[in-house]
Chain A
Amino acid sequence: MKRVVVVPNKQGMHARPAEMFVRRAQQFKSKIEIVRDDYRIEAKSIMNLLTLGAAQGTELTLEAEGGDAQEALDALAEVVEKDFLEEDAESEAPQTNTQNKN
C-alpha cells in the first residue's frame, strides 16, 4: 500500500519532525518504508529519516505492508501534512514560554 505526501513545512523534515514521524510509525506493526526518487529507507528510525534530507516541497512515497498498513498510512500522512506544519509554527513562535505539547 502506498501514499504520496509532500513535505509542507518551511523547515523541512529536520530532527523534530523526524522524531514525531518515527514515534507514530512505531505504533504500527506494519513494515513501513519511505521512498524519495530511487532512494528507499525503513521508516522507524530517526537517523534513516534524516538521510532523506527532505526540504519543503519534497515528494515522499510512504509504503506500508502488514495488517495495519492502511491505518499506518493514514496516520503518517497526517503527521506530515498537519503536525509538521504545527511544529514549524511552534518553532517560529517567540522563544519565551515554549511549552512541550502533547
Chain B
Amino acid sequence: MKFSDFICREAIRTNLDAREKKDVIRAMATSLLEAKKINEKDYESIVEAILKREELGSTGIGRGVAVPHTKHPSIDKLIGTVAVSEEGVNFDSLDGEKVHLLFLLVSPPDRPGDHLRALENISRQLRDDTFCRFLKQSKKPEDVAQLLEEADSNKFSH
C-alpha cells in the first residue's frame, strides 16, 4: 500500500496550533471534514471514537510519531491525513517523547487488512531517518505531500 492510496492531500496540515491531544485529533478530523472525506453528521462520533481508542493506550508509536485511528461504519474506504506540529504534542507515548508527526486513519469496520497495511507502510517509511526528519520539518502541506509522493516512488526505500 502507498500513501497515495489513503492519504487525502487536501487534508494535510502543518504548523498545528493545537497543543493538546484531543484538540489535535479534532483539528485533523476537521481537515477531513473540510476535504469532504467525512460527513458533518459523523464528525462528532468519529472524533469521539478516536479519543476513546486513545484511552485504551496511546497510539504514539515512538520517534515522535502517532497514529490516532478508529473504525467507523460511515466509511467505506480507508482514509487518512497527516499533520505536523513544530511544538510537539504530549501524546503519552511509550517512549515518553512528544509527538511531532501524526497520521490519522479512519477505516471501514470490516477491513482489518487495509488498516494493517497502512500501518505497515507508515512505519516502514518512517524508519528512514531522513524521511522522518524532513516530514517533521515541513512548513507547508505541499511539502508533506511531495515527501509522501517521493516515498511512494521509493526515494527513501531501504
Contacts and interface: CB of A to CB of B under 8 A. Distances in A.
A associates with B: yes
Interface of A: 10-16, 18-20, 22-23, 45-48, 50-56, 95, 98, 100
Contacts of A22: 94
B61 A15 contact: yes
B116 interface: yes
B62 A12 contact: no
Contacts of B52: 95, 98
Interface stretch (B2-10, B20-28, B121-129, B138-146): B121-129
Interface string B40-68: 00000000010010011111011101010
A15 B119 contact: yes
Contacts of B59: 15
Contacts of A54: 116
A52 B67 CA distance: 16
A56 B49 CA distance: 24
A59 to B, nearest CB: 15
B120 interface: yes
Given A15-B69, A46-B61, A53-B119, 4 more contacts: A14-B112, A50-B61, A50-B122, A98-B56
A12 B119 CA distance: 11
B136 interface: no
Residue of A16, A19, A23, A100 contacting most chain B CB atoms (<10 Å) = A19
Contact of A14 (B62, B63, B119): B119
Contact of B113 (A13, A23, A50, A55): A55
23 contacts: A11-B112, A12-B112, A13-B116, A14-B116, A14-B119, A15-B57, A15-B59, A15-B119, A19-B57, A22-B94, A47-B62, A47-B63, A47-B126, A50-B61, A50-B120, A51-B123, A52-B120, A53-B119, A53-B120, A98-B52, A98-B55, A98-B56, A100-B55
